[in-house]
Homo-oligomer: A and B are copies of this chain.
Amino acid sequence: MSEKMDRRQARTKQLLNKALMELIEEKGTDGVTVTDIATRADINRGTFYLHYRDVPDMLEQIKEEVFVNIEKCILQLDINEVIKNANTGKPYPISVMIFEEIARHADFLKVMFGPKGDLSYAIRFRNFMATHIFNKLSYLQPAEDNFLIPRDYLIAYMSSANFGMLMHWLESGMKQTPYQMGLIMTQIALHGPIASAGLKSN
């Protein structure tokens, strides 16, 4: 990743990357051809193959890089700490950090989680959130069998809900700051959706 690279390689990689971004924004994940990318980047088509095997391979590498960055942030978050510290009107700092990292890759994620996006990528994020955030909720820990509804459905519910808000943030133009998004998530994790409506803490 960070190994020193020949300037020429770095340059073409960057041009190819930029071209791909523009094209999937226009035509969606599929339907983008090597010829498209090379033409747009003003790079010889053959040069593409010196860097990537084909278009899916290129996309896969970018997806991986973005995922790893966000993964690092999410792994630092402990949902039970979020709830404990939520009495203050402030969001848990790490949740803000997560939204900042997402904002950093907003252009890419907006496409990947939009209508022309990649469902496998969305599911990967959702499942990661399910495993590393909501699976650890303390009030889901004890009596596995005593739930009103099955535990896995509760986790599917909460991870999908939060991922859905993330999607909504991206697709509605990111009008909230990462700080505000952290606050929203904290509130709804604390009170649930019902109590979070109509009750203004002033």
Residues of A that sit less than 8 Å from B by CB: 30, 113-120, 122-123, 126, 139-140, 142-143, 146-154, 156-165, 167-168, 172, 176, 183-184, 187-188, 191-201
Contacts and interface: CB of A to CB of B under 8 A. Distances in A.
Nearest to A115: B120
A187 B119 contact: no
19 contacts: A115-B120, A117-B119, A119-B119, A139-B198, A140-B197, A142-B198, A147-B196, A148-B191, A148-B197, A148-B201, A150-B176, A153-B168, A154-B196, A156-B165, A157-B161, A157-B164, A158-B161, A160-B164, A161-B161
Query: Interface on chain A toward B: helix, strand, loop, or mixed SS?
Result: helix
A183 to B, nearest CB: 8
A3 to B, nearest CB: 32
A75 B119 CA distance: 26
A147 B194 contact: no
A54 to B, nearest CB: 12
A122 B160 CA distance: 12
Contact of A198 (B147, B150, B167, B196): B147
A11 to B, nearest CB: 30
